Amino acid sequence: MTAPEPVSGESGPEVAAVPGVATVRGTGVRREALYFAVRNRKLVGGLAVVVVFLLAGLVGPLLVGDPLAYVGPPAAAPSGEYPLGTTTFGQDVLAQLLHGLRATFLVGTVAALIAGVIGMLVGFTGGYRGGLVDEVLNMITNIVLVLPVLAVLMIIAAYLQVRDVLVQAVIIGLFSWPWVARAIRAQTFSLRAREFVDLARLSGMPVRRIVFREIAPNMASYLFMVFILLFGGSVLFAATLDFIGLGPTDGISLGLMLNHAKQWSAMNLGMWWWFVPPGLAITAIVGAMYVMNVGLDEVFNPKLRET
């Protein structure tokens, strides 16, 4: 196929189009990127939202008690004492939300790192080596790409009896990499043909160093955006798994809050404060990440800058 590959993927229907590979060499360019970065409203706004939630997830749990303890009156609506109300059992919804945020960031980060690393390794190797190695890797990528990821995750999570958030993050990470590999392979292909790579090769640099020293830095901006997309996608996957009861059995997460709210009929009992906040938090974090992504795209790709 000669058509440009869309960089959308299993990680949410986000299409970051095909960003031109920004040449990030030289401090001048870097300073220019920073100049546009701090002036990009999408980037700054998105980042602000993410940071607020991140801080809440990091610091919040220290300020509230055990999220599962029965502390208040059952099914109480939001009040001064319990700003987000309590669950059927009298658990503090705010405490659950803060602990849940932590789990959400953990899942997103770990899964995105795993998927990112696998995707990069497969993509770089295939793209740079070409030939039979590429054929095989590309075949594997395509196979995993076509598998309906959520269905696979369900099967695995159902049998594995996921205990904690980390295991869940690993499973999600292991199945989210194919589109990354594919996109990076394409990018590597085009970069491989550039002069500076040829130069490096002529100077006798080993392959690994060429990839990581010469090619990867040139895709740094792109890789960062990939990470953001993977993060958002993993958070949504985790929430979905938690919701259908395949989440971690220990602790609390935003998806588990939704799961509990449904199982204990929060909707029928009118306890909106139980199911609105967790979903809102997920939407806000992932949405802010996506908006940040657009901002980044504009920063690194001058053509898209608002004039």
Partner 1 sequence: MARYFGRKLLIYALTFFVAVTINWLIPRFMPGDPVRAMVARAGLQTPEGVAAMREYYSSLFGFDVPVWQQYLNFWGGILRGDLGVSLLAFPEPVTSLILGAVPLTLGLLIPAILLSWWAGNKFGAYAARKKVLDNAVLPVWYVLTATPYMWLAILMAWALGKVAGLFPVGRPYSASLVPEWSWLFITDLVSHWFLPFLSLFLVAFGGWAIGMRNMVIYELEADYAHYLSSLGAPPKLVRRYAFRNALLPQITGLALQLGVIVGGAVVTEIVFDYRGLGYLVLEAIKATDFFLLQGIFLFIVIGVLLANFVIDIVYVLVDPRTRAGMGGDR
Partner 2 sequence: MRNRWRYLVLLLSVGLAAACTGVDGGEGGDGEGGGSYPRAQTLFTSGTQWGAPVNWNPIMNWTYATGTVGLVYETLFLHDPLTGEFEPWLAESGDWTNDNTYEVTLREELTWTDGEPITAEDVVFTVNLGEMKSVPYNELWKFLDSAEAVDERTARFTFSEPRYQQWANWVYFSPIVPKHLWEDRSEKDVTAGANENPVGSGPYKYEAHDQDRQVWVKNDDWWGKEALGLDVKPRYVVDLVNSSNEAALSQLLAGEIDLSNNFLPGIADLVKGGYKLHTYFSQAPYMLAANTTWMVPNTTRAPLNDPAFRRALANSVDVGKIVNSVYGQIVSPADPTGLLPIWDEYIDKAQVDRLGYSFDTNRAKSLLAQAGYRDTNGDGLVENKDGSPIELTLATPSGWTDWNESARVIAEGAKAAGINLTSETPADTVVQDIRESGDFDLILDNQRQMDNTPWRYLEYVFGLPIRESQTTVNYGRYENQQAWDLVNQLDATKIDDRAGMKAVISRLHRIQLTELPMIPLWYNGLWSQASNSVWTNWPADSGDAPRLVPTMWRGYLQRGAIKMLAELRPAEQQ
- Residues of this chain that interact with partner 1 (CB under 8 A) are 1-6, 8-10, 12-18, 138-139, 142-143, 145-152, 154-156, 158-161, 179, 186, 232, 236, 239-240, 243-246, 255, 258, 261-262, 267-268, 270, 272, 275-276, 278-279, 282-287, 289-291, 294, 303-304
Sign for the pseudo-dihedral over CA of 277, 281, 282, 288? positive
- Whether 288 contacts 56, CB under 8 Å: no
**Which of partner 2, partner 1, none binds 265 (CB below 5-8 Å, type-dependent)?**
partner 2
Which residue's CB is nearer to partner 1, number 200 or number 281? 281
Which residue's CB is nearer to partner 1, number 71 or number 109? 109
Which residue's CB is nearer to partner 1, number 15 or number 207? 15
Alpha-carbon distance of 248 to 186, in angstroms, equals 36
**Which of partner 1, partner 2, none binds 150 (CB below 5-8 Å, type-dependent)?**
partner 1
SS3 261: helix
Report the nearest approach of partner 2 to the CB of residue 243 (Å).
13
Alpha-carbon distance of 213 to 195, in angstroms, equals 14
- Whether 56 contacts 101, CB under 8 Å: yes
Sign for the pseudo-dihedral over CA of 90, 93, 98, 103? positive
Which residue's CB is nearer to partner 1, number 98 or number 291? 291
Report the nearest approach of partner 2 to the CB of residue 167 (Å).
15
Which residue's CB is nearer to partner 2, number 196 or number 264? 264
- Residue 100 tokens read as 């849940």
Which residue's CB is nearer to partner 1, number 179 or number 222? 179
Report the nearest approach of partner 2 to the CB of residue 36 (Å).
38
Interaction site with partner 2 (CB under 8 A): 68, 70, 74-75, 88-90, 158, 161, 245, 249, 260, 262-265, 267-269
SS3 92: strand
**Residue 265 Rama label (left phi>0; alpha psi -120 to 50; beta):** left
SS3 227: helix
- Whether 232 contacts 11, CB under 8 Å: yes
Which residue's CB is nearer to partner 2, number 161 or number 283? 161
Report the nearest approach of partner 1 to the CB of residue 208 (Å).
24
The torsion defined by the Cα of 193, 199, 201 and 202, in degrees rounded to 10, comes to 130
Question: Helices 272-300 and 254-263 meet at what angle, rounded to 10?
Answer: 150
Report the nearest approach of partner 2 to the CB of residue 259 (Å).
9
**Which of partner 1, partner 2, none binds 295 (CB below 5-8 Å, type-dependent)?**
none
Alpha-carbon distance of 208 to 183, in angstroms, equals 19
**Which of partner 2, partner 1, none binds 244 (CB below 5-8 Å, type-dependent)?**
partner 1
